[in-house]
Amino acid sequence: RALVATEGGRLVGELQAKGGAWVPFPARSKNPFAMAVNVGRLARICRAEGVELIHARSRAPAWVALGAARRLGLPFVTTYHGSYAGRSPAKLLYNSVMARGDVVIANSHFTADAIRRLFPQVAGDRVRVIHRGTDLSAFTPGQVAPQRVEALRRAWGVAPHERVVLLAARLTAWKGHRVLIEAAAAMRAQGLGDFTVVLAGDPQGRTGYLRELDAMIAAHGLSDQVKRVGHCSDMPAAYRAASVVAVPSTEPEAFGRAAVEAQALGTPVVVSDLGAVPETVLAPPEVQASERTGWRVPAGDSQALAGALADALRLGASARDALVRRARRHVEAHFSLEMMLADTLAIYAELLGAAPAGEGR
């Protein structure tokens, strides 16, 4: 059984529909006194429910979970999702709980290297890399009806003949929106037309950044060619609606979810050669150009981004089909949800001294 101790949220319904159990719990609190009380509260839940292993994914709840696990003698697993801000001794101590699991799951080799660098005494050899898995049954071309794609393009205000360059990310500066706007201006100056840049993402209250982006779009004369469309709830259709997906982050990403999902759906990708995203995309010099599944460009280099996007848009039909097939095989081999789940359950079985799923217990 999967018991999820949380205050709640929009995913509780999905959790319950898939067979998980929601345990209402004040996990959000960072107050030290409340966290100390929560250790006892979580320990009581674990005793009552016969919990055999605790898995934490966030820092404040992880301190509570660590206390409860040690009190009860239970295995403790953490998933380290990415870089945490702050390098002061106090902040590093607070962050270090994510490296204190009996097994520490890193979502990428980039994250694993960061853990070992920041917490060499704590993490030791307990770090295991399990890439975030993608549900390939949902992110597959055959599951995305053309009507969904057409409806989304209409909602975006994209003409039928226009090709979409999609950046799907929350509107925050390090996601590279400014670099993409500059690249769009360079592509137009080079005579490349009939494309629209779609910025799909929630601003999350960053009104100053929105004003900055709008001013930049206007200054480049791109008001008719760059569209901010807000949050998108149908990402499979969004990737299918695009001719190329850009991931132009200017700071390291802990994983490359958008790049994986786009490749799974057969949309070419261009990513910054920074952080963990390059782990998800095969490109020269790692492989021959004929084996690429996308393009990697230097972070912050709008001219290089423009060139790679143009190359992707100019692909002939046969070359594009071959790239799509390679990208899908690459994702299936390394980034499936089934692989992530199997690897995680194997860690649970190892810590519990049990047979892996499908081998008895």
Cα separation values, 174 from 178, 231, 332, Å: 9, 18, 29
pLDDT tens profile 65-92? 999 999 999 999 999 987 787 789 999 9
Average pLDDT over residues 284-309: 97
Flag whether 357 is in a domain: no
Shared-domain flag, residues 178 and 286: yes
pLDDT in the model for residue 216:
97
Q: What's the length of the chain? A: 361
Flag whether 359 is in a domain: no
pLDDT tens profile 131-180? 999 999 999 999 999 999 999 999 999 999 999 999 999 999 999 999 99
Q: How many domains does the chain have?
A: 2
Q: What are phi and psi of 306, to 5 degrees?
A: -60, -45
Cα separation values, 206 from 203, 213, 214, 227, Å: 5, 11, 13, 17
Burial of 210 (0-12, 13-18, 19+ CB in 10 A): middle
pLDDT in the model for residue 161:
92
pLDDT tens profile 98-139? 999 999 999 999 999 999 999 988 777 899 999 999 999 999
Among residues 21, 12, 74, which one has the least CA distance to residue 43?
Answer: 74
Shared-domain flag, residues 324 and 189: yes
Flag whether 113 is in a domain: yes
Range of the structural domain that residue 36 is part of:
3-132+337-352
Flag whether 361 is in a domain: no
Report how far residue 1's alpha carbon sits from residue 349's, in angstroms, rounded to the nearest whole number. Answer: 14
Flag whether 10 is in a domain: yes
Report how far residue 28's alpha carbon sits from residue 282's, in angstroms, rounded to the nearest whole number. Answer: 38
pLDDT tens profile 23-63? 999 998 999 999 999 999 999 999 999 999 999 999 999 99
Give the up-direction half-sphere exposure of residue 174: CA atoms within 13 A in the CB hemisphere.
6
Burial of 37 (0-12, 13-18, 19+ CB in 10 A): middle
The CATH code of the domain that includes 57 is: 3.40.50.2000
Report how far residue 187's alpha carbon sits from residue 199's, in angstroms, rounded to the nearest whole number. Answer: 17
pLDDT in the model for residue 358:
47
pLDDT in the model for residue 205:
82
Shared-domain flag, residues 123 and 251: no
Q: pLDDT class for 219, splitting at 50, 70, 90?
A: very high
Average pLDDT over residues 314-341: 96
Shared-domain flag, residues 272 and 150: yes
159: left (phi over 0), alpha (psi -120 to 50) or beta: beta
Side by side, which strands form the sheet with 269-272?
A: 226-230, 195-200, 163-168, 244-247, 269-272, 295-297
Shared-domain flag, residues 124 and 168: no
Among residues 296, 291, 304, which one has the least CA distance to residue 256?
Answer: 296
pLDDT in the model for residue 360:
39
Shared-domain flag, residues 15 and 94: yes
pLDDT tens profile 227-253? 999 999 999 999 999 999 999 999 999
Shared-domain flag, residues 123 and 171: no
Helix (H, G, I), strand (E, B) or coil at 99: helix
Q: pLDDT class for 354, splitting at 50, 70, 90?
A: low
Q: Kind of pairing, strands 103-106 and 127-129?
A: parallel
> What Rg value do the Cα atoms of the chain yield, rounded?
22
Residues 6+ apart with CB under 8 A from 279: 108, 109, 110, 131, 256
**Mean pLDDT estimate for the chain:** 94
Average pLDDT over residues 308-337: 97
Shared-domain flag, residues 7 and 28: yes
Shared-domain flag, residues 69 and 165: no
Flag whether 252 is in a domain: yes
Q: pLDDT class for 203, splitting at 50, 70, 90?
A: confident
Shared-domain flag, residues 168 and 273: yes
Omega before 252 within 30 of 0, i.e. cis: no
Percent of the chain residues topping a pLDDT of 70: 98
Q: pLDDT class for 355, splitting at 50, 70, 90?
A: low
Shared-domain flag, residues 76 and 159: no
**pLDDT above 60: residue 359:** no
Flag whether 251 is in a domain: yes
Shared-domain flag, residues 263 and 324: yes
Tokens standing for residue 322? 């071959």
Report how far residue 342's alpha carbon sits from residue 348's, in angstroms, rounded to the nearest whole number. Answer: 10
